[in-house]
Structure 1
Amino acid sequence: MNINCLIIEDEPLATYVIEQYIEQTPFLNTTKFDYLKDALDFIHDNKPDIIFLDVNTGSIDKYQIQRLMQKKDLMIIFITAYPKSFIEKNLQLDISNLGYLHKPVSYKAFVRELERIIV
C-alpha cells in the first residue's frame, strides 16, 4: 500500500523536517509546494491521499481549504505553530476530524497522527 502525500509549506526548514519524516516511512511518497494556490492543479490531477498543510503560507484561502475538506478520499493534516483554536476561529474551519501537528513537529507526533488518520 502506497500513500501519496503532498506538503504545502513555505518554510524550507519545516518542509525539510516533514519530508525527512515521510522518507523514514516506507509506504509514503511525497511531493511539495510552497503555496496552496500553486498546488491546486496538482491536487486535482493527482489526487493525493494526505496533504500536510501549513495554514500560514500567506496565500491561504479558507474557501479553497473548505473545498478540499469536502473530498472524502483526502485527509488534511494542518501543520502550524498556532493552536487549533486559532485555525477554527480565524479561518472559521471545524478541524476536529482532521489532522493537526504543532510546530516544531516531532517524529513521535508525526507517527502518532499518521496512525490515527490511516486506521
Structure 2
Amino acid sequence: MILNCIAVDDEPLALKLVSAFIEQTPFLKLVGRYSSAVEALRGLHEPGAHIDVLFLDIQMSDLNGLELARTLDRGSSGARTPRIIFTTAYNQFALDGYKVDALDYLVKPFEYDEFLRAALKAKAYYELTRAATPVVVPVPAAPEPPAEDYLYLKVEYQLVRVPFQDILYIEGLKDYVKVYRRSETRPLLSLSSLKLLEERLPARQFMRVHRSYIVGLNHISAVTRGTVHIGEVTIPVSDGYRESFDQFFSRWK
C-alpha cells in the first residue's frame, strides 16, 4: 500500500526535512509540498487530487493548520478527507489537534523514528479502512499483493533493508537495538525500541522471550525449559514470557 502525501510548512528547513522523511519511507509518496495552508488548500481541491495523508504545521501566517483542518472537515460532503498528522513546535495545541481528529501530533524537533511511528499509524488506519469496506458488487478477486518479508532499519543516516529470514535474533539496548543476521558477523545497530520491532515482525517467525531479546524461530537449534539456543548463542527466557514460550516449547517434546 502506497499513501499519497503532501507536506505543509512555512519554515523552509522544516518543510525540507518532512519532505525528505516522506521520500525515504517506502510506503509514502510525496505528491506536493506547500509553504502556506492556502496553497495547500488549492492543491487539495485540484481535479483528480487524491491525498491520503497531510503532514501539516499549525502556526502559519495566512491560515493556520487547525483552521485548514476544520475547513477540510466541513467541506468533505461524504468524500474521503485526508488524515492529518500535525508537525509543530508548540505542544499546547495537542488537545485542539485531537478535536479535529488528527491521526498524530509530532512536536519539533523530531527524529525519523518518531516520524516513522506516525506514518505507520496512517498505514495501519488505511489498511483497516480497506479491510472494513463492504463489497457491493461481486467481482473477481484481484490477487493479493505478496506480504512484506523485510523491514527497514535506520542505521546511522540511512535506511537498511533487512529480510526477515536473515534475522537470527535481536537484542534491546535501551534506546537502541542490535540486529544479528545470518549473512553478516557484525550486528546492525539501529535507533529503535524492541517493542516497536516486536510490533513490526510477524509472530509466525519471531518470538520475544526476554525483555531484551527477540528470536527468529526458524533459526533455533535447541531449547530447554529456560533457554533458547541459536547456534552457539544461548538466550535466556524470562518469567514474563514463560507461558508463550512453554506453548512453543511443547512442540519440541
Q: Is the structural similarity TM-score above 0.5?
A: yes
State the distance in 1 between where 2:87 and 2:16 align.
Answer: 13
List aligned pairs for 1:60-75, cutoff 5 A.
60-61=63-64, 62-69=66-73, 71=76, 72-75=80-83
Q: Point out which structure has higher relative CO (alpha carbons under 8 A, 6+ apart).
A: 1
- Name 2:111's counterpart in structure 1: 106
Give, in angstroms, the shift of residue 69 of structure 1: 3.8
Aligned residue pair count: 116
Give, in angstroms, the shift of residue 9 of structure 1: 0.5
Q: 1:47 to 1:67 in 2, by over 3 A?
A: farther
Mapped contact 2:84–2:102 kept (Cα < 8 A): no
State the SS of the aligned residue for 1:78: strand
Give the TM-score, by structure 1 length: 0.82
Give, in angstroms, the shift of residue 50 of structure 1: 0.5
Identity of aligned residues (%): 33
Choose the corresponding residue for 1:81, options 79, 89, 92: 89
AA at the equivalent of 2:12: P
List aligned pairs for 1:26-41, cutoff 5 A.
26-30=26-30, 31-41=32-42
Choose the corresponding residue for 2:58, options 29, 47, 55: 55
Bigger helix fraction: 1
State the distance in 2 between where 1:69 and 1:106 align.
Answer: 29
AA at the equivalent of 1:42: G
State the distance in 1 between where 2:16 and 2:116 align.
Answer: 16
- Name 1:115's counterpart in structure 2: 120
Higher Cα Rg: structure 1 or 2?
Answer: 2
Mapped contact 2:70–2:100 kept (Cα < 8 A): no
- The two structures, once aligned, show a CA RMSD in angstroms of 2.2
Mapped contact 2:55–2:87 kept (Cα < 8 A): yes
Q: 1:20 to 1:64 in 2, by over 3 A?
A: closer
Gaps of 5+ in 1: none
Give, in angstroms, the shift of residue 97 of structure 1: 4.7
The C-alpha deviation readout for 1:67-87, integer Å capped at 9, x for no partner, is 32465441101100001x335
Q: 1:64 to 1:96 in 2, by over 3 A?
A: closer
Say which is worse superposed, 21-30 or 100-109, in terms of deviation.
Answer: 21-30
Give the TM-score, by structure 2 length: 0.42
List aligned pairs for 1:10-25, cutoff 5 A.
10-25=10-25
Gaps of 5+ in 2: 125-253
State the distance in 2 between where 1:66 and 1:24 align.
Answer: 29
